[in-house]
Amino acid sequence: MSESLGLSIGAANLVAARAGRPPVVRSAVLTLFERRPTEVGLPEENPNLTENGMVLRGFVERVGDRSPLVAADGTKYLGEVLTVEAIEAMARTVGYGSPITIAVPAYWSDAQFTALREEFFAQPDLARGGVAPVLVSDATAALAGLRGRPGFPTAGVVALCDFGASGTSVTLMDAGSGFTRVGTTARSADFSGDAIDQLVLGRLRASDDTMADLGSTVRIGSQSRLLGECRRAKEQLSTASTASIAMAPGANAQLSRAELEQLIAEPLDRFLGTVEEVLRRNGIARDRLAAVAAVGGGAGIPLIAARLSERFQVPVHTPPQPAVSAAIGAAVLGDQQAAGGAPTAMGAVVETPTEMVGTAGIDMTQAAAAAQATDVDGALAWSQDADGDEPVPYTGRDATGEYSREATDSGYGAGDRYAAEEGPLPWYKRTALVLLVAGAAAA
């Protein structure tokens, strides 16, 4: 049986997939402990979260950002350091594997791609048997899992639409040229899982007078809980006609699929316009478009496939588990690489520099062509924020209500951001500070 491990990382979830086992999905929430390894996910997802620790969110979005996140105790972490910690925790959860293939967002910039790749030195457990992990675009990984499906095109252009929590990406692939990428990946933040959750919450507010001033009358934790309920209702409506939303103990609201479809119709239409613009920008005529592939958690919404088919008049291919398609495809790519000769730590194999890059032994010029994003709707994406190197206080939501303390500014000046602390430090602080100092020196 194959030992290949496929992993995918996103703003909302991390996924681990191995052959013959159900994929493991964890929320992108990291808990650091003083005397035990890091854990990833929420307590309801991860049975190993049995004690208090330092909880951090928002690290995947900050990969490549030189401004570190600041935890509640003032400790500073770069996004890529925490992301590699989370990847190792996911691999450990499923018993590791070899080779390891990691699907990263196709819309990432060169700097983000390189920043993550260069942090893997801190996790030798991810290089089992001297085989370094391989980074691959999640668009390439998702297509790897779809290519063997009946009816999937072998010629023409495939538009892969990845409906994620923080936005939707569009990547064009040329099926007749081994599914090489056409142009750059486009990213729209207008149509996203998080935005849909907010639309559902807004409808609940409008229909219930007692919720009109929700933001000012209840704790942020209660609002976060309601958003979680809205997300669960949205997911249920992928297969059910109605869903119940727990507003408060003993008080539920109903949401129908028709109501959800009405809420998302306008932003979905704008996204379809984005796909058309991507095709025009890359000179792809409609008769060259062979199919659309829909992946990511949002791809399970029936209206999305219906509107894609109606608008573009081509087959729409959606995998049975679209939310985990990138991790499954990454495992498939790992199997293919192993069958053809596994990349080693001394000389990782690069199939196509823009698509698959090993985390060791790769010249920087090869990584320079990593996935780039074009934000076609003009919104300022997090990866395009202005450069800066001041610490950014961590202000994410408390995952459990008890696992973390409120985040505070460290109060450090620019000259002593990486100053040593007095006395013995927990292992996770020592590691993070060493990595941050190394990153600062290289910047």
CATH number at residue 253: 3.90.640.10
pLDDT greater than 80 at residue 345: no
* Residue 166 within a domain: yes
Range of the domain at 200: 193-260
Same domain membership, residue 23 and residue 139: yes
Same domain membership, residue 317 and residue 176: yes
Q: How many domains does the structure of the chain reveal?
A: 3
Residue 441: pLDDT band by 50, 70, 90 thresholds?
very low
Handedness of CA 296, 302, 304, 308 (dihedral sign): positive
* Residue 171 within a domain: yes
What would the pLDDT profile of 264-278 be if each residue is shown by its tens digit?
999 999 999 999 999
Domain endpoint, select from 245, 260, 275: 260
Q: Where are the beta strands (DSSP E) in 309-370?
A: 316-317, 356-358
* Residue 249 within a domain: yes
Same domain membership, residue 121 and residue 58: yes
Compute the CA torsion angle 399, 403, 405, 409 (nearest 10 deg). Answer: -60
- What pLDDT is stored for residue 356 in this prediction? 54
Residue 337: pLDDT band by 50, 70, 90 thresholds?
confident
pLDDT greater than 60 at residue 386: no
292 three-class SS: strand
What is the C-alpha R_g of the chain? 22
Same domain membership, residue 277 and residue 256: no
* Residue 382 within a domain: no
Question: Residue 124, preceding bond cis, omega within 30 degrees?
Answer: no
Q: How far apart are the first and last CA of the chain?
A: 43
- Residue 332 class from Cβ within 10 Å (0-12 exposed, 13-18 middle, 19+ buried)? buried
Same domain membership, residue 270 and residue 235: no
- What pLDDT is stored for residue 97 in this prediction? 92
* Residue 345 within a domain: no
- Residue 50 class from Cβ within 10 Å (0-12 exposed, 13-18 middle, 19+ buried)? exposed
* Residue 96 within a domain: yes
Residue 339: pLDDT band by 50, 70, 90 thresholds?
confident
* Residue 392 within a domain: no
Average pLDDT of every residue of the chain: 80
Half-sphere exposure of residue 221, counting CA atoms within 13 Å on the CB side? 8
- Per cent of the chain over pLDDT 70 is 73
Same domain membership, residue 183 and residue 210: no
DSSP labels, 3-60:
--EEEEE-SSEEEEEETTS--EEEESEEEE-SSS--EES-TTT-TT--S--EEEE--G
What would the pLDDT profile of 119-140 be if each residue is shown by its tens digit?
988 888 898 878 889 999 999 9
- What pLDDT is stored for residue 19 in this prediction? 85
pLDDT greater than 90 at residue 413: no
pLDDT greater than 70 at residue 51: yes
Same domain membership, residue 169 and residue 45: no
Same domain membership, residue 88 and residue 9: yes
Q: Are 134 and 359 in contact (CB under 8 A)?
A: yes
Same domain membership, residue 316 and residue 293: yes
Give the sheet arrangement for strand 76-77, strand by strand. 76-77, 69-70, 392-393
Residue with tokens 């933001």: 215
Domain endpoint, select from 260, 290, 311: 260
* Residue 419 within a domain: no
Same domain membership, residue 309 and residue 164: yes
Written as one letter, the residue type at 179 is F
Same domain membership, residue 59 and residue 134: yes
Same domain membership, residue 251 and residue 130: no
- What pLDDT is stored for residue 247 in this prediction? 83
- Per cent of the chain over pLDDT 90 is 64
Q: What is the CATH number of the domain that holds 284?
A: 3.30.420.40
**Cα–Cα distance between 16 and 133 in angstroms, integer?**
14
Residue 221: pLDDT band by 50, 70, 90 thresholds?
low
Partners of residue 104 on adjacent β-strands? 137
